[in-house]
A and B are shown apart, each in its own frame.
Chain A
Amino acid sequence: MSPLFDGVFKRDMAIAFRQKSELVQPIMFLLMVVTLFPLGVGPSPDTLQRIGPGVIWIAAILSSLMGMERLFRDDFQDGSLEQVMLSPVPLWQVVAVKVLGHWLVSFIPLLLLSPLLAVFLNLTFGMYQALIVTLILGTPLLSFVGAIAVGLTVGLQRGGLLLALLLIPVFIPLLIFATSAVDSAALQLPYQPQIAIIGAMLLLSVAASPFAIAYALRVSQN
């Protein structure tokens, strides 16, 4: 475990915390996207409450797409990813740890910020509870599935927009189940079924995607 923890996890964390602007920008972006909605659709509390869960989730997906590129880009460009591939540690373990680190860095701030967003959008406490559960289960899914597309596009010059084109359709089911869970909570209906489905999708992606990411990186490295 030690080479993975010391060599990959601690290093990624150190790099992330030294590039503070890259750490903060996606969160600022998220906050601003959420701010646009009350201005765009009008500040009526009922409207905001109805669209709130969807807005928060859409903002989370968009901001994750902004920051996702960072996941392998620097390592790919300075060649350390190639060295990792040559090392005896299996690549899928390395990418799993890297994705986990990316999730911690990019989505923990979102989770911390979520009460503020809930207040902005006038969510009830029951809705907020459902929202936080869907965020905890759903955002790792964004990281793991997104990393496959990042691995595929990392070698391209202008991969950013392409990454969004590839990933948005893939994230639609998550958006649907997550917002429908919060809607059920708003009506005080049980929302466990949606949570169970998101959990199942998360388990599938955690089990399968490290291998897909490793393969994608090998394709990019050629």
Chain B
Amino acid sequence: MWKFLHPYAKPERAYQLCQTLQPWFWSLAAVCLVTGSIWGLLFAPQDYQQGDSFRIIYIHVPSAILSMSTYVAMAVAAVVGLVWQWRTAFMAMIAMAPVGAVMTFIALVTGAAWGKPMWGAWWVWDARLTSELILLFLYMGVIALYGAFEDKQQAGKAAGVMALVGVVNVPIIHYSVEWWNTLHQGATISKFDTPSIAPEMLWPLLINLAGFAFFIAAVTVVRLRSEILRRDVHRPWVQALAEQRENRRAV
């Protein structure tokens, strides 16, 4: 059933796939982000209570949702790498890690900027804020562990194990801090049957969510390409590629 995926275990094929996907991801990201942001920031109606300051939702919520999804994607890549011994899966995992960390950081900063006018404080030790902060620490741990090894093959496996330990812990952290203390409002858009947000506000949010997802995918693909090239720099196919580019430049 998953057989069509098998060729991509080979770095060369994965590289080609990235090359094909990259322009698509970039253009979809640009279209969605421009539409969603302009619609959300300029044309969506004001909130009756929060006025214009609610508009940061169009950055905050997509980055927060995707910071978690990216971690899960990393964990999936780690499982694939550990179980089927795919080198490219570890490379994909480590390509995603800094992107996810930056998303977490964006979610925290925009959350702080939103918290100041609404709650009167930049930071409160609330469940969601704390678990997002811990998620940032988990990302940093994975990146630091990967960076600590000389042998990147070994580094990928080690970082994969750590990512899995983290992903087991993410729900535990989430519920532990939830029971410990809570102020942040509950989920707004995941309740699809009875959404608690007006549709003219929801649409730009969903478009921006897609835009952020494509943006993450695009950056990941770029990073994965360079990671593959760096690891396989002595392989004939990379050298052929470099030669080809050299020739093209000469002409």
Contact = CB atoms under 8 A, between A and B. Distances in A.
Interface in A193-222: 201, 204, 212, 215-216, 219-220, 222
Interface residues of B, dominant DSSP: helix
Contacts of A212: 161, 164-165
Nearest to A194: B179
B180 A176 contact: yes
Contact of A166 (B82, B134, B162, B177): B162
B20 interface: no
B157 A166 contact: no
A89 interface: no
Nearest to A222: B154
B76 interface: no
Interface in A157-202: 158-159, 162, 165-166, 168-170, 172-173, 176-177, 180, 201
Contact of B145 (A158, A162, A204, A222): A162
Given A177-B176, A219-B157, A219-B158, A165 B165 contact: no
Nearest to B180: A176
A38 to B, nearest CB: 23
Given A165-B144, A173-B172, A176-B180, A216 B161 contact: yes
A212 B164 CA distance: 10
A111 B153 CA distance: 41
Interface string B201-234: 0000000000000000000000000000000000
B207 to A, nearest CB: 33
A148 B140 contact: no
Interface residues of B, number: 27
A interface residue count range (under 10 / 10 to 19 / 20 to 34 / 35 or more): 20 to 34
Given A169-B134, A172-B134, A172-B176, A152 B158 contact: yes
B162 A152 contact: yes
Nearest to A177: B176
Nearest to A173: B176
Contacts of A162: 144-145, 148
A158 to B, nearest CB: 8
Nearest to B179: A180
A168 B134 CA distance: 9
A57 to B, nearest CB: 13
Contacts of B137: 165, 168-169
Nearest to A208: B168
Interface in B52-111: 82
Interface of B: 82, 134, 137-138, 140-141, 144-145, 148-149, 151, 154, 157-158, 161-162, 164-166, 168-169, 172-173, 176-177, 179-180
23 contacts: A152-B158, A155-B154, A165-B141, A165-B144, A166-B141, A166-B144, A169-B134, A169-B138, A169-B166, A169-B169, A170-B165, A172-B134, A172-B176, A173-B169, A173-B172, A173-B176, A176-B176, A176-B177, A177-B176, A180-B179, A216-B158, A220-B154, A220-B158
Given A176-B176, A222-B154, 16 more contacts: A148-B161, A148-B165, A149-B165, A152-B145, A152-B158, A152-B162, A153-B148, A165-B141, A166-B141, A166-B144, A172-B134, A176-B177, A180-B180, A201-B172, A204-B168, A220-B154
